Structure 1
Amino acid sequence: MGLLLDMGRHLRDYYERAEARGEPLEITINNGAHPAFFVAATTPSSAAPIDVDELAVASYLLGEPARLCKSRTVDVEGIADAQMILEAEILPNVREPEGPFGEVSGYYATRADRWVVKVKAISLQKEPVIHMLHPGREVWNGQGLGIEANLFQTISKQVKGLKNIYMTHGGSHYHVVVQMDPPNNGMAKNAIMAAFAAFSDLQMVTVVNSDIDIYDAEDVERALVTRCDPAKDIVIIPNAFGHELNPVANGGNVLSKMGFDCTYPVPKPASYTRVSFADVDISQYEIV
């Protein structure tokens, strides 16, 4: 069967080492395991570099050591509680046309040469429940936690006033909203550049103040149209490295990226005081 190996991911690195030796890479494909394994496996390489054990990440999320089981045909363990385990190897120097398949972008990827996996054995639970995803609709559940945590850690080292990070549900992991109160003008743009450097898949970064609810698209849009001056508050980076499954990249890895500085100037002008109801002391009124 076919397999896509994303650049910069652990599996791609392991495969390239094996291929350089002319050897197949033995793997197990585990379906229907605890979500902790899914979150750990989709953690971006910037948060989990090649020397980080993703099984250790899963164990931390589980609160106990991951339960593994020996395979019958490959020297790689499987996840003991998975619903289905495929024992397989990725063949060296072999590529075959694959697709089109629904992908993380929410679109169908074009038919292209991909890596080839030879399945050697299949193990199933007695009554297996196979876990399926709707591409482009459930990305946040797997990748959002790791990406947000990594971006927060990275950006907070570069700028002050960072409050929160949200990888939007509709952004297919290509868009994040950064919430911060920058102490100086221009710092929001530094946050934009830090975000792009921390996670290469990003195509868009929107920076807002802490008075904006980053989980409310209406509130974020209000900041966009009232605090972002297109002439000076939009950062465009042409010909940057991005994610190959983003249709904008047109089958490659090169695309343009854009950041929106939707923060008000420092110091805060009175014109950016948001309308709100006055506080009411109910104890001063007789309730009948």
Structure 2
Amino acid sequence: MGACIAFLGQTGNLVRVRSEVDAHHELAGIARRFEGAKCVLFERVKGSAHPVLVGLLWNRNIVGSVFGVPTERVPFVIADAIGSWQKDKAALPARILAKAPANEVVEAQVDLSSLPLPVHALQDGGRYLDSSLVLARNPQTGGLNVSVHRMMVTGKDRLSFLIDPGRHLGDYVEFAEQRGESLPVTISNGMGLAPWIVSTLPRLGDGKPDIAHHMIGRPVDLMQAQTGEVPAYADAQFVIEAEILPGVREFEAPFAEVTGYYGGRDKRWVMKVNAITRREKPVFHTILSGQEVWNAVGFTAEAAIFHAVNTKIREVRAVFLPPGGCGFYEAVVQVENTRPGIAQDVIRETFRAFRSLQRVIAVDTDVDIYSAVDVDWAVTTRFNPDTDLMVLQGEEGHILNPMVTLDPDGKGGKVTKVGMDAMVPYDQKGEKFERVRFLEVDLERYDIKYD
């Protein structure tokens, strides 16, 4: 993450807040004013010696610049990395180091209050780790997996946290609990964009961390833990070593979630912290629920959806999960219109590829999927509810969306999903649906005065 901060500064994409701020509500209140624009580095946080970075993912153009590609190419960088990893999972193996930047300092005492963990929203239940990468081993195979979870501090050495349905970590914990065993994990805070983005990819299983190696063309080093057999990221700013306690559930939340509402309070999984290590001069990383989460999920879901659907339907050209869909719930898919019924096929496959989706809109290649106005125009002028509406009842829903009817066990839920074919009817292409065009001109060639 240090390289990211340096790059942001060099490119004019970093705001430095030099006044002392309180991590309890004030930090997030200031950060919110910059949301979607430049990243924010809080240099002085009350009661802590460590700065805090916010906003690394809330501007898609900045993310593209960090990867050195146009913004619309970022999902394809991720999709290409997934494909390369799946072809050869043994390529670009990571080293596991004994000494690394992330363990320059081994804290003598375990005390989570020494970290500048913020309380973001006004009704949040406590201080949270919301952008840290949890590494765990599959207890049946030993394979390494990585994911991101919201984790609330409940004591100097204790965290309660949420596991979304479908996460491999949930399977690992269930298997360990059946054997009456704790599950060791490491929690890495302050990583670069590639490992962070990979941690949010769904359902890829053992070896998923290695996808980041294919994104940047080199291995991302790991390091040995002080107390367990699960490694951590060698370049992290902070590392927390912990174990998930078998059969223990304690209250977690409320927490400001991706939906713009609070996730409800309930008894959830518990970690006991065994060690904390860090860099000599670390920077803590946090995210605001909102555009950062929407983009993080959007980039990875767009990659996963494109990879899955384009494999079956080659006419798919691009996928975008717009901010209004909270990164989880709406997809716009751009499709080459080559045959009758292709939009319906694309919509079904898109829902299969990403189960959290509740609305999918298929559009032609002349529609700018990144423009809400253009997509709305296509729906208004090309979508016929009598023939182009797909309604899927009783489908799997994402439990954080308040419109989902939860199952009795609270681990899943059902919702009605909607697909919209906003493509020109295949048998009506021609003058009726020819878009108005104007001559493309270069304004630099003209003497123009702006009053």
The reply to whether TM is greater than 0.5 is yes
TM-score (norm 1): 0.90
Q: CA deviation at 1:116?
A: 0.8
Alpha-carbon distance in 1 for matches of 2:247, 2:266: 15
**2:296 alignment partner, SS class:** helix
Please list the CA deviations of residues 161-190 of structure 1 after superposition, one character each: whole Å capped at 9, or x if unmatched.
211111213322211110002322221011
1:217 aligns with 2:378: no
Alpha-carbon distance in 2 for matches of 1:278, 1:30: 53
1:16 maps to 174
**Conservation of the 8 A alpha-carbon contact between 2:258 and 2:294:** no
Q: CA deviation at 1:22?
A: 1.4
Q: Which runs of 5+ in 1 are unaligned?
A: 281-286
**2:390 alignment partner, SS class:** strand
**Conservation of the 8 A alpha-carbon contact between 1:189 and 1:261:** yes
2:198 maps to 40
1:271 aligns with 2:432: yes
**Conservation of the 8 A alpha-carbon contact between 1:3 and 1:115:** yes
Alpha-carbon distance in 1 for matches of 2:438, 2:295: 36
1:166 aligns with 2:320: yes
Q: CA deviation at 1:158?
A: 3.1
Which 10-residue stretch deviates more, 80-89 or 63-72?
A: 63-72
Amino acid at match of 2:346: A
**2:263 alignment partner, SS class:** coil
Amino acid at match of 2:166: G
Aligned equivalent of 1:156, options 304, 310, 313: 310
Which 10-residue stretch deviates more, 219-228 or 9-18?
A: 9-18
Alpha-carbon distance in 2 for matches of 1:244, 1:121: 32
1:190 aligns with 2:190: no
Aligned equivalent of 1:260, options 409, 420, 423: 420
**2:386 alignment partner, SS class:** coil
Aligned equivalent of 2:358, options 203, 211, 224: 203
**Conservation of the 8 A alpha-carbon contact between 2:302 and 2:321:** yes
**Conservation of the 8 A alpha-carbon contact between 1:69 and 1:80:** yes
1:138 aligns with 2:292: yes
Q: Which runs of 4+ in 1 moved over 6 A?
A: none
Amino acid at match of 1:257: K
Alpha-carbon distance in 2 for matches of 1:151, 1:29: 28
Which 10-residue stretch deviates more, 120-129 or 135-144?
A: 135-144
TM-score (norm 2): 0.59
Q: CA deviation at 1:160?
A: 4.3
2:140 maps to none
| 1:148/1:65 CA distance change after superposition, 3 Å | same
Sequence identity, in percent?
41
**Conservation of the 8 A alpha-carbon contact between 1:160 and 1:182:** no
Q: CA deviation at 1:211?
A: 0.4
Count of aligned pairs: 278
**Conservation of the 8 A alpha-carbon contact between 1:98 and 1:111:** yes
Amino acid at match of 1:37: P
**Conservation of the 8 A alpha-carbon contact between 2:198 and 2:211:** yes
**Conservation of the 8 A alpha-carbon contact between 1:139 and 1:169:** no
Q: CA deviation at 1:254?
A: 1.4
Alpha-carbon distance in 1 for matches of 2:245, 2:405: 27
Alpha-carbon distance in 2 for matches of 1:61, 1:111: 37
1:82 aligns with 2:236: yes
Q: CA deviation at 1:217?
A: 0.7
Aligned equivalent of 2:397, options 217, 235, 242: 242
